[in-house]
Amino acid sequence: MLVLRARQIEKSFGDRLVLQGCSLDVHHRDRVGLVGVNGSGKSTLVGLLAGFDAPDHGEVMGAERCVLLRQEPELPFDTVGEAAEDALRWHRELLFRYQSALEEGRLGDASTLQARLDTVGWSRAHEVDAMLDRLGAPPRSARIQELSGGERRRLALARALLTRPEVLLLDEPTNHLDADTIEWLQAWLLGYDGALVLITHDRYLLEAVADRIVEIEQGRTVSYEGSYADYLLERAERLASLSRAEARRVSLLRSEAAWAARSPAARSTKQKARLERLEKLKVAHDLPEDRAFDLELSTGIKTGRSVLELHDLRKAYGDRVLFRSLSLNLIAGERVGVVGPNGAGKSTLLRLIAGVEEPDGGEVLKAPRFKVAVLDQHRSGLSDGDTVFEAVGQGNDHVVVAGRPIHVAGFLRRMLFPREMLQQRVETLSGGERARLLLSRLLLQGCNLLLLDEPTNDLDLQTLGVLEEALLQFDGAAVIVTHDRAFLDRVCTRILSLHGDGSTGIYADRTQAIRARQAREAARRDTLEPAEASGPAPPPKPAATKRLSFKERQELADLPGQIEALEAEQAQIESRLADPATYREAADDVGPLDERLRTLPALLEAAYERWAALSEREP
């Protein structure tokens, strides 16, 4: 069933034509991933689909069925509670219409409305608190005008999910969410009964959820069936085919032009037709191309040299302890990813390293001639009144790149800022364009240590790939706070986990950090379980010294195989949960698999302890 349609949409801002002939059909239960380079018009298109703006030309049908999560949400409410309760207005209206139909004797309408209520549930009030809590939104009493940007985004996302529209439009929903919440959101979207149009830089989320990728390319939409991985392959094949077709056109144009130059004036029908074909061949169509640029961050520092040392670092705000005893030795060539729940102190740690804040205790030791560059999540460091040219040139016409002077316009062209954007004010740039402008400044700045706070927010997928390659080649060190799971897996050499209770841990990779967290959660659940028997605990038994019985020797022989089987099961479940196909083809298995995975660390620990106890008694 078709629930949303856009036909031949055109939209311009001043002299800049953003969308020119965009069309999109969305059916019930569609999962559409909307992609394109920064500035291609993704946010503009979803705003038009939701009816927030009107197209210059073309039409949108079905906008009343949509709810849009915008990157800068508007929340015209006084408190968090009011905003959240308003999201369930549709359910209260449904109940009212059902009651009115009964009272007025419209039994047919009442039956239809009853079926709808049977589907969505007769009571949903309990969902509000559950949704706010799961997304880490502020308490109900918090005033919206006092919320941070991240808190406003989480509240707006909660409202969008509670509304449960026929078409859910999400523009970068993972911004300001921690990794655990993103995984929960991924599972929620997989089970969502409506249609979804999703803009996201999170490649794992896109791969798991989307079953169709629509790319905005030169102002038009190009649709690719399948997952994000399928899109990458099909797009490469399409571009190669278009390139071959263009090469054939140019070759034929060359030979036809040579014929026309040496032939007398054409009089026959055949010659006239050939000349008409020549005129058609002269009409060239711009080929889509991958917009790529070079981001060379190398500093020449010797790899392996210590850049930064944190010794017994302590920081708290009142009773809230961020970390009690954090130590870290960072050497050149390393890229440490910082993870943890919202509020655990990730951004605070970057400010302590940069010297913006002072720790409550401990030391921050920096290498001689230490130079740090910061990209914060607020994209600060740019003046809104400056032009793009002024933001990079800083009053100069030339900048120095790799020891050589280059004109600012030429440098910006390399960073994908065309000439028509040079005089554009910074305040008019999209979030992704601001990020790319700051990355340009980092390239010119040069540093030993990069501090990146949510660097992937608002970046298009191509720019994200360029940043990843630059960091992989970076000879300095980097501390990276990001919720982007694919970015962490590809770029980071170690993971620093802030647990949220003042404790910390350093792990080889994200998978090891997840296993450690699951083990902590299992241990916490065990300590919270009530004792099975009341009364004082029996005195401890004296240590056994007798030899193993036949049954215990058999148990000891079987334990290595049991441990191996448990570890194999753990690896298999982790592999299935990491595979996007599981969420598409066996979504009902995800919950049981996740629950089983949570129990395995405790089972393994018990098996190891039993093996150790029996081994000590073995003669």
Quote the distance between the C-alpha of residue 383 and its chain's center: 27
**Interior/surface letters 369-400, b for 16+ CB within 10 angstroms, e for the rest:** eeebbbbbbebeebeeebbbbbbbbeeeeebe
Distances 510 to 207, 283, 339, 484 between C-alpha atoms, Å:
19, 52, 9, 11
DSSP 8-state assignment for residue 464: H
Instruction: Take residue 408 and report the two structure tokens written for it.
Output: 């600012």
pLDDT band at 567; cut points 50, 70, 90: confident
pLDDT at 551 over 70: yes
Residues 14 and 4: their CA atoms lie apart, in Å, by 28
What lies within 8 Å, CB to CB, of 330 at 6+ separation is 306, 307, 308, 309, 336, 449, 477, 479
Mean pLDDT check: name the lowest of 135-139, 360-364, 539-543: 539-543
What's the predicted TM-score (pTM) here?
A: 0.72
Going from N- to C-terminal start, the domains of the chain cover 2-88+124-227, 306-515, 545-617
pLDDT at position 267 is 47
Residue located via tokens 């291609």: 40
DSSP 203: H
The DSSP annotation for 284-351 comes to: --PPP------------PPTT-EEEEEEEEEEEETTEEEEEEEEEEEETT-EEEEE-STTSSHHHHHH
pLDDT, one tens digit per residue, over 373-414 is 888 877 778 888 999 999 988 888 888 876 788 898 988 887
Do 460 and 37 meet the contact criterion of CB atoms below 8 Å apart? yes
User: Three-state DSSP class for 209?
Assistant: helix
Which fold, 545-617?
A: Helix Hairpins (1.10.287)
Q: Between 431-445 and 461-473, two packed helices, what is the crossing angle to 10 degrees? A: 20
What's the pLDDT at 414? 79
Interval 538-542 mean pLDDT? 50
Burial 180-200 (b: 16+ CB within 10 A, else e): bbbbebbbebbeeebbbbbbb
Burial 321-357 (b: 16+ CB within 10 A, else e): bbbbebebebbbbbbbbbbbbbbbbbbbbbbbbbeee
**Of the listed ranges 218-227, 262-271, 412-421, 453-462, the one predicted with least confidence:** 262-271
Rounded to an integer, what distance in angstroms lies between the CA atom of residue 133 and that of residue 181? 11
Q: How do strand 449-453 and strand 372-375 relate by DSSP bridges?
A: parallel
Complete edge-to-edge strand list for the sheet that includes strand 16-27: 16-27, 2-13, 57-61
Q: What is the mean pLDDT of residues 150-161?
A: 92
Decide if 2-88+124-227 and 545-617 have a common fold: no
Q: Are the beta carbons of 398 and 405 closer than 8 angstroms?
A: yes
Hey, which bits of 436-491 come out as E strands?
449-453, 477-481
Range 306-515: architecture per CATH: 3-Layer(aba) Sandwich (3.40)
Joined together, the tokens standing for residue 442 give 């980092």
Torsion of CA 63, 65, 71, 72, to 10 degrees: 80
**For position 136, what pLDDT does the model report?**
87
Distance CA 409, CA 414 (A): 9
Q: Classify 2-88+124-227 by CATH class.
A: alpha beta
What proportion of the chain, given as a percentage, has pLDDT over 70?
85
- Residues 147 and 76: beta-carbon distance below 8 Å: no
